[in-house]
Amino acid sequence: MHWLLEPSALQALQHARRFATPEARTQWDARQAAELREQGSAGGLPRNMTVAGSTAEIRVEGILTKRPDFFAMFFGGGNTTYTSIRAALSIAESNPQIRDVVLFVDSPGGSADGLIDTLEAIAAFRTGSGKKLRVRAENAQSAAYGIAAAGGNIEASGRGALFGSVGTAIAYFVDEHIVELTNTDSPDKRPDLTTPEGKAVVVKFLDQVNAEFVRCIAQGRGVDVKTVSEDYGRGASMAAPEAKRLGLIDKIATTAPRAVPSNKGKTMSEEQTDNRAAIDAAVQQGVAQERDRVKAHLAMGEGCGDLKIALDAIRSGAVMTLEVNALYLAAGMNRKDRGNRQTESNTAEAALQGVDAAPTAPVADLGDKVVAVFEKEKSHVRHAK
């Protein structure tokens, strides 16, 4: 998969994909199916969308993917799908009560697959919906910066907000024991990544993907492609003041409050209704986030075979930090090692008894049986004397 993702997030995600246990994948498949059946939050809205009065907020958080992704959700600080962003825009456009849309971006980026369609959907909403669209961002890097740029005017939430990392990357794990061959006329289908020529083939494709990405950013920011390629950090990340100096953003917020609908000209009952809606939306968002946190820990606990880690994390309010992830991974590997040892023990016992092995069925410890056999032989020897 090709990524437009901040480097440290990409490294964590690739590490998780490489070492996560098959059990964790199985648990996620079942939970993902259930999530897709639910699909929406209260009121039929996508879970990344809330509405308060005439203002809709669409949250773009965590790693961005085309479909819900186990590793992005649990190891990347959350997961927003491109599909949910486009669905929220469609709802906002069709709802006459919604007049303003805020894209709130807090993401290190995501996959290339599905991104360009989403950038074009944002651009179409911005120019054709007749509704006001603006962006507020805490962290908008790589693919997430593309989404922010497509939204038009960008306001950083504070001076510490991060922007940039404009570029396309892919990580490969090269196994020296795997040899891949192609037909004579298609050598670039499986390039040898240990050679400069092979790497050049991959870079050439990344350049094509990145050209589309840069084109969308330039269109959203109202600048030319050369400006984005040369003046937007050349793949580097930067804090809000530098991003503003270079033209990546337009404004840095000086106050903490988030945008809320204006109450000017409204009656007291109308103001109370809007306030109630804002409170309900905040509660709904908190409930969804807590549900995701609990489900994440339960899935990982079940997957690695150690629910105690999950229950302790749930009780303590812990989120999916690298330290907690390490505990799950270690438990999963220990479980796998124990399973391998048990399989070897079962196989040895079956060979000793002259029957076929049953590797998956746990049996009594082989060590005790071997000792019993030796004791029996010693007894025969004593009686023979």
Local confidence pLDDT in tens for the 385 residues of the chain: 555 655 555 555 555 555 555 665 566 555 555 554 444 444 578 889 999 999 999 999 988 988 877 665 555 567 899 999 999 999 999 999 999 999 999 998 888 889 999 999 999 999 999 999 999 999 999 999 999 999 999 999 999 999 999 988 776 666 677 778 888 888 888 888 889 998 999 899 889 989 999 999 999 999 999 999 999 999 999 999 999 999 999 999 986 545 555 555 555 555 555 566 666 666 666 666 677 677 777 777 776 677 788 788 777 777 666 566 666 666 666 666 666 666 666 666 666 666 555 555 544 444 455 445 545 555 554 554 5
DSSP 8-class letter at 258: P
d(CA 127, CA 135): 15
- With CA atoms as reference, report the closest residue to 146 among 169, 128, 123, 170: 123
pLDDT tens per residue, range 283-338: 666 666 677 677 777 777 776 677 788 788 777 777 666 566 666 666 666 666 66
3-state secondary structure of 32: helix
Query: Are 220 and 133 in contact, with CB atoms under 8 Å apart?
Result: no
DSSP E strand boundaries for the chain: 3-5, 49-52, 55-61, 63-65, 79-81, 100-107, 109-111, 132-141, 154-156, 162-164, 237-239, 251-252
Query: Are 148 and 138 in contact, with CB atoms under 8 Å apart?
Result: no
pLDDT tens per residue, range 88-99: 999 999 999 999
d(CA 141, CA 148): 9
